[in-house]
């Protein structure tokens, strides 16, 4: 029970001190979340109030089920972009169908996360490698920022890819409004400055550091308030957010149209995976700082519940956001109750702030989005990855290119498929070395790299990888080549020091190989076989058919098969015996 | 040039002795191939003469491009079944479209094989694991044998799965013909007996052993001749093969209908892969016996050329067959010229034998198919696999069930996908062990299995796998758990003796982990890092950020971090230093 409801754990020890800390953190996060929630709803192509709705129930659900003390769940930029990409092909923006599809998307990704959590399938997310995730986040952030350019110009143009966005914007450029652009750039400049400049400024006025930090988080809300005042007090008439319904929606069941569910299945799975990877990474970073830990499988359950609750209260897909969670942690949140209080703050905002927001310029929200997402862009990672390995750098470059040019769904899918393909390719050709004895020692090293001696009728080969179906044929080819090229061969010794697993394909291939070698008069021996591997070999017929022997060490093997050679090592017990493999 | 045309190699040394050996082998293989080629064409749902056509040009193409000296290419049972499964949904059996689709299938799988060969993608075939291939062959053989039952009963009923075959046969059962069944069972019984009984019998009559063996191969052809005589001389009127056009077809271009090519793309890829795996395995077994070798990538080119030539001469997909190749090798074939002579034999058969075959009962061919494929069924492999590992046995069982119940394409695909999934799953959770020092030695062993000592503030962990994106988060989770559970922890040492690769995801995770540990006041150290891994780490920023140290050995690490502990090992040079990991 406690595994699935962590609140039972931390709730027992909840005291006044925790309450105060959590309340303070909740106030600061709420101030930050109000403009973000509106902005990310617009980014997803939804009415702004949907952002508020998606910032209430999911926070409560996460407070019940989540294992991170400080994760702040809600609408985030990349998931909002993915929502827009998933829903846009199915319905016209602004229509009831569009909203309905976004709600189904939240329900479906919630169910997928929940199922992954209950079936303990969190490991699937490991297959989104770092280079792919980093490339995807960078490219998504660039797409999002580019997508705000039309709004900054007072125009309406959307596109799921850079080229389509450009083509949509181009014909409208002549009606761009410079006054709106001036407003947007001013807000953008202010917010960029505020990220670094507010705190020192306030502190130089004598404000307490914690208070100055909290005030710094209010910069976007301040920009929102100032923009509304500007619109009300001057003649400036930029495109506005417009009337926002006051209060909260009634809970409702998402649409159960099977065709819609089917159309959204793959996007929902991608959103679930990407959201989970982002969220868990944030939660782990913040938990480790306090020597706490999170339970990744339970996080799936919690994020699933958050998304389901979002769907039932008219919201769209949510996940744990990086910036918000860091602020929550820095502001002193000690339990998930801080999230629940934030939800309370958002409820109040839905009742009392919504009437004020009608005059909010969309360009102001676009500016907050741009400033938020440009922090996610990390193009310098690409040359770093390429320098480290071509496979990793290539996967990252492919993900960035595919995301920018073909859209988010194709981008992340291409990245994951390519990295798994490269992984399989790499594991299909393990490093192998023909080894020989370092004269006068019990060491055996790669004949191509070291000065070693070998016996003409013995081939010793070391495989630096477990033997399983993707790579065992590679070993087979290698040995058959040796068999054809070395006419005097009588013994093959397989040094298994680095072999952690031998699967059924490998055992069968080794047996076949053994009988082929046998027909050619060559015996197959094994050395340095690990305990668990040996246990398993004993369950197959391999050892009964073994034409050679099992040697405890490679040196034992050479002593038995090529005594002349090992005689150079005067006495086994006086040899330096520490064996290192490289 | 010689890489792509092995004939240039063996052709130079061709002499009279080789010619005689090859001619003799060709005669024996031709005798065996005539009934098989007719039978496998019927199995593929094609007119019998297509089997003859597919046994001419492909053999010549393989003789030019192939690297095996004895592989006999042509129609084989499993590929014929896959052809029927691929083409049946697209056209009615017996129609020109059906034949056209089979020809396109040969062209397409030829092109796929050729492309794989030129791009050196032969390793892709490694992902068909042994249990999956074994399960697929067994299930296909059972499907093929079951599919011959209607013909044995003088009926017509087809089905791509066991249930659909059963449902197709059931309503027709009352018109089953017992006379046809008697003929079919007689032929089946004769052929089963002939596989073991003919040779000893003939030798007991004083026949030379080689001649007796060759005569044994003629049993199917003898059954064909006897059946024809029986039909001509008696009143028995079973369903007959009917008129077969005499002579050879003119070379023609396969249909270029893009919709047809698209529909056949996936089946063609599966046929290419399965055919290649089967063929290479046969070729390697036979080559090793003579200490020869084959070039797997060139085999792709050769099989690609064979299939393309089949398509251009009105044939269907082909590959290297097991039984036929063994006979070819046993009969003394020394070069691929034996294949070319076999092709010549098949040309003669197309001209001179076809008029005789009109009266051949289909039941006789069904009997030859049953006897041939039942040799491929190996159900005892399943419990053997299950005993060895549940993953391997499960993949095999799933492949068998999916093939029998859902058809060949679903069966092989399900098997491959499942085994790759299990492989990824396994590699996502490597074996890790917390290690401690074996008192008085430099050995370090798993604390759960051995009596070892550890320091309270040092955690030493050994990962028995390379670190890459599928598994690195698993290590991360493990270390974060340790961090949360061990309050006094100050050092983590990662024993990298079994780590052959650290990819970019792993480096980044380690860096994050390191900074998380650092924030909690814990230093991360590495020990036993292999040379190539170290080279690569030096290309990243990992070593600059390293909070701990790199130790050459785990013992060095413990000497530095927990000197009290290692003091028990009196003098390092007198300790037993051979280190074995298990």
Which residue among B291, B442, B500 sits closest to A431, beta carbon to beta carbon? B500
Which residue among A288, A384, A504 sits closest to B516, beta carbon to beta carbon? A288
Query: Tens digits of per-residue pLDDT, A177-186?
Result: 999 999 999 9
| Residue among B239, B234, B220 at smallest CA distance from B151 | B239
pLDDT at A566: 64
Which residue is closest to A472 within chain B, CA to CA? B126
User: What's the pLDDT band for B266 if we cut at 50, 70, 90?
Assistant: very high
Residue B105 near residue B271, CB atoms below 8 Å: yes
pLDDT at A479: 87
Torsion of CA A459, A464, A470, A476, to 10 degrees: 0
Query: Tens digits of per-residue pLDDT, B450-486?
Result: 888 888 899 999 888 888 888 888 888 888 888 888 8
Pair (A153, A262) in one structural domain:
yes
Query: Tens digits of per-residue pLDDT, B51-85?
Result: 999 999 999 999 999 999 899 999 999 999 999 99
Pair (B366, B444) in one structural domain:
no
Q: What is the mean pLDDT of chain B?
A: 88
Residue A506 near residue A469, CB atoms below 8 Å: yes
| Residue among B579, B577, B561, B581 at smallest CA distance from B569 | B577
| Residue among A63, A423, A79, A29 at smallest CA distance from A277 | A79
Query: Tens digits of per-residue pLDDT, A358-384?
Result: 899 999 999 999 998 998 899 998 998
| For range A185-208, the mean pLDDT | 88
**pLDDT of B431 strictly over 90:** no
Would the CB atoms of A519 and B289 count as touching at under 8 Å?
yes
Q: DSSP states of A100-134 as a string?
A: HHHHHHHHHHHHHHHHHHHTT-GGGGGGS-HHHHH
pLDDT at A582: 28
Tokens for A564?
């002349």
Pair (B46, B149) in one structural domain:
yes
Lowest model confidence (mean pLDDT) among A148-162, A553-567, B491-505: A553-567
Report the C-alpha gap between B435 and B553 in whole angstroms.
13
| Residue among B159, B16, B139 at smallest CA distance from B88 | B159
Tokens for A523?
């015996």
Q: What is each CA distance from B205 to B127, B198, B201, B202, in whole angstroms?
A: 50, 11, 7, 5
pLDDT at A149: 94
Size of chain A, expressed as the number of residues it contains? 582
**pLDDT of A567 strictly over 80:** no
State the pairing for strand pair B458-463/B491-495: parallel
Q: Which residue has the tokens 């702004």?
A: A48
Pair (A283, A383) in one structural domain:
yes
Strand partners, B319: B74
Residue at a domain's end among A360, A392, A421: A421
Which residue among B427, B431, B480 sits closest to A293, beta carbon to beta carbon? B480
**pLDDT of B293 strictly over 90:** no
Which residue among B131, B464, B519 sits closest to A500, beta carbon to beta carbon? B464
Tokens for A102?
């976004």
Which residue is closest to B431 within chain A, CA to CA? A500
Would the CB atoms of A470 and B509 count as touching at under 8 Å?
no
| For range B237-241, the mean pLDDT | 89
Pair (A210, A292) in one structural domain:
yes
Strand partners, B445: B436
Residue B419 near residue B395, CB atoms below 8 Å: yes
CATH at A442: 3.30.750.24
**pLDDT of A578 strictly over 70:** no
Pair (A304, A384) in one structural domain:
yes
Q: Assess if residue A88 is contained within a domain.
A: yes
| For range A509-514, the mean pLDDT | 88
Q: Which residue has the tokens 């079944």?
A: B81
| Residue among B562, B538, B296, B307 at smallest CA distance from B436 | B562
| Residue among B578, B281, B259, B258 at smallest CA distance from B438 | B578
Best residue in B505, B510, B512, B577 to probe A by mutation, most A CBs within 10 Å? B505
pLDDT at B567: 61
Pair (B104, B244) in one structural domain:
yes
**pLDDT of B21 strictly over 50:** yes
Query: Tens digits of per-residue pLDDT, A77-129?
Result: 999 999 999 999 999 988 999 999 999 999 999 999 999 999 988 888 888 88
Q: Assess if residue B185 is contained within a domain.
A: yes
Torsion of CA B259, B263, B266, B268, to 10 degrees: -80
Q: DSSP states of B340-383 as a string?
A: HHHHHHHHHHHHHTGGGGGG-BHHHHHHHHHHHHHTT--TTHHH
Q: Assess if residue B489 is contained within a domain.
A: yes
**B465 to chain A: which residues are within 8 Å by CB?**
466, 500
**pLDDT of A574 strictly over 50:** no
CA distance B548 to chain A (A): 18
Q: What is the CA radius of gyration of chain B?
A: 31
User: What's the pLDDT band for B566 if we cut at 50, 70, 90?
Assistant: low
Pair (B199, B337) in one structural domain:
yes
**pLDDT of B376 strictly over 70:** yes
User: What's the pLDDT band for A1 if we cut at 50, 70, 90?
Assistant: low
Percentage helix, strand, coil for chain A under 3-state DSSP, each rounded to 5: 65, 5, 30
Residue A339 near residue A62, CB atoms below 8 Å: yes
**pLDDT of B212 strictly over 90:** no
User: What's the pLDDT band for A573 if we cut at 50, 70, 90?
Assistant: very low
Q: Which residue has the tokens 């109750």?
A: A337
CB neighbour class for B19 (10 Å; exposed up to 12, middle 13-18, buried from 19): middle
Which residue is closest to B478 within chain A, CA to CA? A293
| For range B240-259, the mean pLDDT | 88
Percentage helix, strand, coil for chain B under 3-state DSSP, each rounded to 5: 65, 5, 30
Report the C-alpha gap between B318 and B78 in whole angstroms.
10
pTM: 0.77
Residue B363 near residue B152, CB atoms below 8 Å: yes
Q: Assess if residue A427 is contained within a domain.
A: no
Would the CB atoms of B520 and A470 count as touching at under 8 Å?
no
Q: Assess if residue A6 is contained within a domain.
A: no
Q: Which residue has the tokens 């394909």?
A: A505
Query: Tens digits of per-residue pLDDT, B511-528?
Result: 888 988 888 889 999 998
Q: What is the CA radius of gyration of chain A?
A: 31
- B322-330 and B337-352 helices, crossing angle to 10°: 110
State the pairing for strand pair A444-446/A458-463: unpaired
Q: What is the mean pLDDT of chain A?
A: 88
Walk across the sheet containing B491-495 and list its strands.
B444-446, B432-437, B458-463, B491-495, B523-527, B550-551
Q: A477-482: long-range contacts (C-beta < 8 A, 24 or more apart)?
A: A477/B296, A478/A432, A479/A513, A479/A517, A480/A513, A480/A516, A480/B284, A480/B287, A480/B288, A480/B293, A481/B293, A482/A434
Report the C-alpha gap between B111 and B337 in whole angstroms.
24
pLDDT at B1: 66
Q: In this complex, is the C-beta atom of A437 within 8 Å of any C-beta atom belonging to chain B? A: no
| For range A238-265, the mean pLDDT | 90
Would the CB atoms of B388 and A507 count as touching at under 8 Å?
yes
Decide: helix, strand or coil at residue B45: coil
Best residue in B137, B424, B469, B509 to probe A by mutation, most A CBs within 10 Å? B469
Q: In this complex, is the C-beta atom of B528 within 8 Å of any C-beta atom belonging to chain A? A: yes
As a whole-number percent, the residues of chain B with pLDDT over 90 amount to 49
Q: What is each CA distance from B337 to B59, B60, B294, in whole angstroms?
A: 9, 8, 16
Query: Tens digits of per-residue pLDDT, A392-439?
Result: 999 999 999 999 999 999 999 999 999 888 888 887 888 888 999 888
* Neighbour count for residue B235 (Cβ, 10 Å): 6
As a whole-number percent, the residues of chain B with pLDDT over 70 amount to 97
**pLDDT of B280 strictly over 50:** yes
Q: In this complex, is the C-beta atom of A512 within 8 Å of any C-beta atom belonging to chain B? A: yes
* A 137-166: CB under 8 A from B: none
Q: Enter the DSSP assignment of A240.
A: B
**pLDDT of B497 strictly over 90:** no
Please state the domain count of chain B: 2
Report chain B's terminal Cα–Cα distance, integer Å.
49
∠A227-A230-A233 over CA atoms, to 5°? 150
- Which residue has better confidence, B426 or B147? B147
pLDDT at B86: 95
- Which residue has better confidence, A58 or B216? A58
Query: Tens digits of per-residue pLDDT, A269-316?
Result: 999 999 999 998 888 888 877 777 788 889 999 999 999 999 999 999
pLDDT at B48: 92
Q: Enter the DSSP assignment of B44.
A: T
Query: Tens digits of per-residue pLDDT, A440-466?
Result: 777 788 888 788 888 889 999 988 888
- Which residue has better confidence, B540 or A397? A397
Q: Assess if residue B579 is contained within a domain.
A: no
Q: In this complex, is the C-beta atom of B514 within 8 Å of any C-beta atom belonging to chain A? A: no
pLDDT at B267: 95
**pLDDT of B441 strictly over 80:** no
Report the C-alpha gap between A528 and A509 in whole angstroms.
19
Q: Assess if residue B551 is contained within a domain.
A: yes
CA distance A120 to chain B (A): 12
Q: In this complex, is the C-beta atom of A210 within 8 Å of any C-beta atom belonging to chain B? A: no
| For range B286-313, the mean pLDDT | 89
**A471 to chain B: which residues are within 8 Å by CB?**
126
Would the CB atoms of A504 and B392 count as touching at under 8 Å?
yes
Report the C-alpha gap between A225 and A355 in whole angstroms.
13
Residue at a domain's end among A377, A394, A421: A421
| For range B37-56, the mean pLDDT | 94
- Which residue has better confidence, B426 or B266? B266
- B337-352 and B57-65 helices, crossing angle to 10°: 170
Residue A254 near residue A103, CB atoms below 8 Å: yes
Pair (A199, A92) in one structural domain:
yes
Strand partners, B526: B494, B550
* B 482-501: CB under 8 A from A: 483-484, 487, 497-498, 500-501
Residue at a domain's end among B378, B398, B417: B378
**pLDDT of B581 strictly over 50:** no
| Residue among B4, B255, B2, B270 at smallest CA distance from B112 | B270
Would the CB atoms of A536 and B429 count as touching at under 8 Å?
no
Range of the domain at A497: 432-574
| For range A484-500, the mean pLDDT | 88
Pair (B367, B489) in one structural domain:
no
Strand partners, B494: B461, B526
- A504-519 and B390-406 helices, crossing angle to 10°: 100
Beta strands in A261-394 (DSSP E): 319-320
| Residue among A76, A68, A75 at smallest CA distance from A333 | A68
Pair (A386, A470) in one structural domain:
no
**pLDDT of B571 strictly over 50:** no
Q: Assess if residue A541 is contained within a domain.
A: yes
Size of chain B, expressed as the number of residues it contains? 582
Q: What is each CA distance from A266 to A44, A83, A269, A272, B3, in whole angstroms?
A: 17, 12, 5, 10, 45
pLDDT at A313: 95
Pair (B356, B437) in one structural domain:
no
């Amino acid at each position: 029970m406690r595994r699935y409801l962590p609140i039972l754990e931390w709730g027992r020890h909840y005291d006044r001190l925790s309450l105060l800390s959590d309340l303070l953190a909740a106030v600061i996060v709420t101030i930050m979340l109000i403009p973000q929630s509106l902005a990310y709803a617009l980014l997803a192509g939804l009415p702004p109030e949907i952002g508020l709705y998606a910032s209430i129930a999911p926070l409560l659900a996460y407070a019940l089920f989540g294992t991170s003390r400080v994760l702040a769940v809600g609408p985030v930029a990349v998931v909002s972009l993915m929502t827009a990409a998933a829903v846009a092909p199915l319905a016209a923006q602004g229509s009831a169908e569009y909203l309905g599809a976004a709600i189904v998307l939240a329900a479906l990704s919630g169910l997928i996360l929940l199922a992954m959590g209950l079936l303990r399938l969190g490991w699937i997310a490991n297959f989104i490698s770092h280079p792919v995730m980093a490339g995807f986040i960078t490219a998504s952030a660039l797409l999002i920022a580019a997508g705000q350019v039309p709004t900054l110009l007072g125009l309406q143009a959307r596109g799921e890819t850079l080229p389509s966005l450009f083509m949509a914007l181009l014909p409208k450029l002549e009606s761009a409004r410079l006054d709106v652009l001036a407003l947007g750039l001013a807000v953008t400049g202010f917010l960029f400055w505020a990220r670094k400049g507010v705190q020192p400024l306030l502190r130089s006025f004598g404000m307490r550091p914690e208070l100055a930090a909290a005030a710094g988080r209010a910069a976007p809300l301040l920009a929102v308030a100032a923009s509304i005042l500007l619109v009300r007090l001057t003649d400036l008439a930029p495109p506005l957010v417009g009337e926002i319904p006051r209060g909260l929606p009634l809970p409702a069941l998402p649409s159960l149209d099977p065709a819609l569910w089917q159309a959204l299945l793959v996007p929902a799975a991608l959103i679930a995976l990407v959201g989970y990877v982002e969220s868990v990474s944030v939660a782990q970073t913040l938990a480790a700082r306090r020597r706490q830990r999170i339970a990744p499988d339970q996080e799936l359950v919690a994020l699933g519940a958050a998304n389901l609750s979002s769907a039932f209260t008219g919201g769209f897909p949510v996940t744990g956001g990086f910036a918000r969670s860091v602020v929550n942690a820095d502001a002193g949140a000690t339990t998930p109750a801080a999230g629940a209080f934030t939800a309370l703050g958002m409820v109040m905002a839905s009742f009392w702030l919504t009437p004020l927001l009608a005059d909010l310029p969309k360009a102001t929200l676009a500016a907050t989005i741009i400033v938020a997402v440009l922090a996610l862009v990390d193009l310098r990672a690409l040359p770093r990855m390429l320098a480290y390995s071509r496979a990793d750098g290539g996967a990252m470059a492919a993900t960035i290119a595919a995301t920018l040019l073909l859209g988010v769904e194709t981008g992340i899918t291409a990245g994951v498929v390519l990295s798994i393909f490269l992984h399989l390719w790499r594991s299909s050709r393990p490093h192998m070395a023909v080894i020989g004895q370092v004269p006068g020692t019990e060491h055996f090293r790669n004949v191509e790299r070291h000065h070693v001696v070998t016996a003409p009728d013995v081939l010793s080969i070391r495989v630096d990888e477990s033997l399983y179906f993707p790579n065992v044929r590679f070993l087979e080819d290698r040995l058959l080549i040796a068999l054809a090229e070395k006419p005097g061969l009588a013994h093959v010794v397989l040094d298994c020091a680095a072999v952690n697993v031998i699967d059924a394909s490998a055992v069968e291939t080794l047996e076949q190989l053994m009988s082929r070698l046998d027909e050619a008069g060559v015996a197959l021996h094994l050395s340095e076989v690990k305990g668990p591997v040996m246990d398993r070999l004993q369950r197959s017929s391999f050892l009964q058919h073994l034409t050679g022997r099992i040697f405890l060490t490679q040196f034992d093997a050479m002593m038995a098969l090529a005594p002349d050679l090992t005689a150079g090592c005067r006495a086994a017990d006086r040899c330096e015996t520490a064996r290192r493999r490289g």
